[in-house]
């Protein structure tokens, strides 16, 4: 099993998702963010089993959960969660004009 880490942008995405859902229900927001984090952790069990999104950025893979998509890269024995985005967003635009959302630490 690979170690799962979160980029600063993915951490902010989770906070933003929670804040958005909390406008209607704080309890639902907490439950859904916990589900998203759980899905991120499950990715570490078999990261290469998820869909490649090389069309968006080099080495990028994705895992859906409901209407959201978790974007990640596999770097040696580490799964780095890059972004957690709603699937209706313009993903190429959000991930960068050239499709690259460089890791930022």
| Model pLDDT for residues 14-73, shown as the tens digit of each residue | 999 999 999 999 999 999 999 999 999 999 999 999 999 998 889 999 999 999 999 999
Residues in CB range of 42: below 8 A, 6 or more apart: none
**Per-domain residue ranges of the chain:** 3-94
pLDDT value at 104 more than 80: no
The span from the CA of 86 to the CA of 36, in Å, is 12
The rounded distance, in Å, linking the Cα atoms of 72 and 61 is 5
Nearest CA to 83 out of 27, 28, 3, 11 is that of 11
Q: What is the pLDDT of residue 100?
A: 46
Per-residue pLDDT, averaged over 65-87, amounts to 94
- Choices 1.10.3720.10, 3.30.2310.20, 3.40.50.12780, 3.40.50.1970: CATH for 3-94: 3.30.2310.20
Confidence of residue 98 (pLDDT cuts 50, 70, 90): very low
pTM given for the model: 0.87
Tell me the β-bridge partners of 18.
Answer: none
**Residue of 32, 66, 71 lying closest to 50 (CA atoms):** 71
How far, in Å, CA of 62 to CA of 65, rounded? 10
Greater confidence, 22 or 90? 22
Distance between CA atoms of residues 60 and 82, nearest Å: 9
């Amino acid at each position: 099993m690979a170690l799962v880490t979160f980029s600063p942008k993915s951490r902010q995405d989770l906070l933003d998702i929670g804040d958005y859902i909390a406008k209607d229900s704080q309890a639902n927001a907490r439950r859904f963010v916990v589900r998203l984090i759980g899905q991120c952790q499950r990715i570490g069990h078999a990261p290469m089993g998820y869909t490649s999104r090389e069309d968006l950025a080099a080495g990028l893979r994705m895992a859906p959960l409901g209407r959201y998509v978790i974007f990640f890269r596999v770097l040696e024995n580490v799964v780095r969660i890059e972004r957690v985005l709603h699937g209706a967003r313009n993903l190429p635009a959000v991930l960068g004009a050239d499709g690259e959302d460089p890791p930022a630490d």
